Chain A
């Protein structure tokens, strides 16, 4: 009796684990500009080629501008790194979705969108949020640059098997409460190191009820709970999402794939090393108050008393005091974007709340679609007009203010409500104070200029 993780693992063993880690075959390798230059340098030094350029796809997302799709006049170092990726892809024959490509976007948004992410696949990328792709029942995790080089050269990874860690979400979400709130509640419960050494499998009725984009939000933040990967067993929701996408199997290959994918869910009675359960029926929208994603509270809650020096330092950095409510706390910047929450459904929910309102004059609001395709679809639906008429900035696709490498930064001492995944000190800019929340909570806070409860806006009765 095997878990989903066991099944994918077993199906990709090239050389089993002994004293040495297993050699695991990697079906798909996604690469981007920031964590690859030194890996290509190493390939050149050793005189190696890429083993499977047909299983490797590149895009640019981390450091690119979102004000335009041109590098002209942009940060010289970032531009040089992007050009290095272009040159590397050309020299080694890797398909590249560059700034001129309609397929460009955040690497974890375009993989699923193009149908590259498929159930049962092993996937890696030099980015910790590769866990996102686990929403399809693909074993996907982040790797370092040395490992990027290894996978480029061999299509394999040296890796030891992780523990099976099941996370069960039961119950039904209340209106105004989202997948983002589920993941913040989980990390709040287990801590940022709670999943270390494990691979999460998310199960339960509340997970089954989520659409693919919401499932991606949950798996995306697996790494914030310490797990290198997070998985959700594929089901009809998964198959419907994948049907007809550019790289999805077609015709009889689709039927064969479907038959294979339906075998992936865990066997009855399969063993898990660890488990945790959450009932989401009474879950409120969640928000973080500290400097790691585990420091979260219900939106109507109070900032808890510090338990140690790190908690104390976090509160000092955030300029918050124990016992204070976050609702009503002044907000300077609102960011809707990142591989966690930049997909069409995220933009739709934020736009639905914003329609007919204005962004508070004290707030700068950025809306950054996750991909060129998300942007195109959002504009076809008129979402861009809602954002622009409300006073938000409507940008080109990229990582933008989640990692603040491209000039999209929160100024020192300012507070942002952000739909991204990390509230680490300085993550959104030196001295920036980040409150992580859902797109709904972010949009509501943009309107009020203070941390606000989206359930007080229309449509959530």
Chain B
């Protein structure tokens, strides 16, 4: 995964999943068109289409476990979210869908303005700012491998069928 895009910003801390996608849009039984309701109740967070990268404040995705938040961001067109920190469940949900949750320090975060051109390379875990620094970002090594090699996490667990059966027979 390697891409460049001019970023769009919602520079607020603690953006919870209710802001990303309000609960009334969780009555769906599929994932189709869910991006239409991204930030539905937050006109101040609405950003134009066309960017691959959303920049948000600290503790992004806190609150509910709804994976719909990740589906909405991806359906809208985002491939990565940059923040100084992510809520645990959101980060897991993002990685399992191929949305990169990229955590940077406050200094780097402060350089990101609407329209800043940013290049992201997952293989080298690097993030480069147009006429600015290149920094590395942390990412779970297993998730990285899965994303780069298109490995399937469910398939990975299923390969351990014997170990699971052995565990169950201990009970």
> Interface residues, chain A, CB within 8 Å of chain B?
14-15, 19-21, 23, 25, 34-35, 37-38, 41-42, 46, 51, 62-63, 75, 77-78, 80-81, 84, 126-128, 142-147, 149-150, 153-156, 158, 160, 162, 192-193, 196-197, 223, 226, 228, 292, 308-310, 313, 403-405, 422, 424-427, 430
Tell me, yes or no, whether B24 is within 8 Å of chain A by CB.
Answer: yes
A325 to B23, CA, bound (A): 31
A14-B163, A310-B13 known; 10 other A-B pairs, CB under 8 Å? A149-B154, A150-B153, A150-B154, A158-B153, A192-B14, A193-B58, A292-B14, A310-B12, A425-B19, A425-B42
Of A46, A146, A226, the residue contacting B87 (CB under 8 A) is A226
Q: Is the CB of B30 within 8 A of A38?
A: yes
Q: Report the contact-size class of chain B (Cβ under 8 Å from the partner).
A: 35 or more
- B134 proximity list for chain A (CB < 8 A): none
Q: Is the CB of A128 within 8 A of B89?
A: yes
Of A20, A84, A422, A426, the residue contacting B156 (CB under 8 A) is A20
A84 to B12, CA, bound (A): 37
Across the A-B interface, how many residue pairs have beta carbons closer than 8 Å? 164
Q: Is the CB of B65 within 8 A of A422?
A: no
Q: Is the CB of A422 within 8 A of B12?
A: no
Q: Is the CB of A424 within 8 A of B16?
A: yes
Contact of A77 with B28 at beta-carbon distance under 8 Å, contacts A128-B64, A193-B87, A196-B85 already known: yes
- B158 proximity list for chain A (CB < 8 A): 153-154
A sample of 15 cross-chain residue pairs with beta-carbon separation below 8 angstroms, ordered by A number, consists of: A21-B140, A63-B27, A145-B93, A154-B158, A155-B168, A193-B85, A193-B87, A223-B89, A292-B62, A404-B23, A425-B18, A425-B42, A426-B19, A426-B22, A430-B41
Nearest CB on B from A110, distance (A): 18
Q: Which residue of B lies closest to A43 (CB)?
A: B154
Interface centre among B18, B29, B57, B160 (most CB of A within 10 A): B29
> Interface residues, chain B, CB within 8 Å of chain A?
12-14, 16, 18-19, 22-24, 26-31, 41-42, 57-59, 62-67, 70, 85, 87-89, 92-93, 96-97, 140-142, 145, 153-154, 156-158, 160, 163-164, 167-168
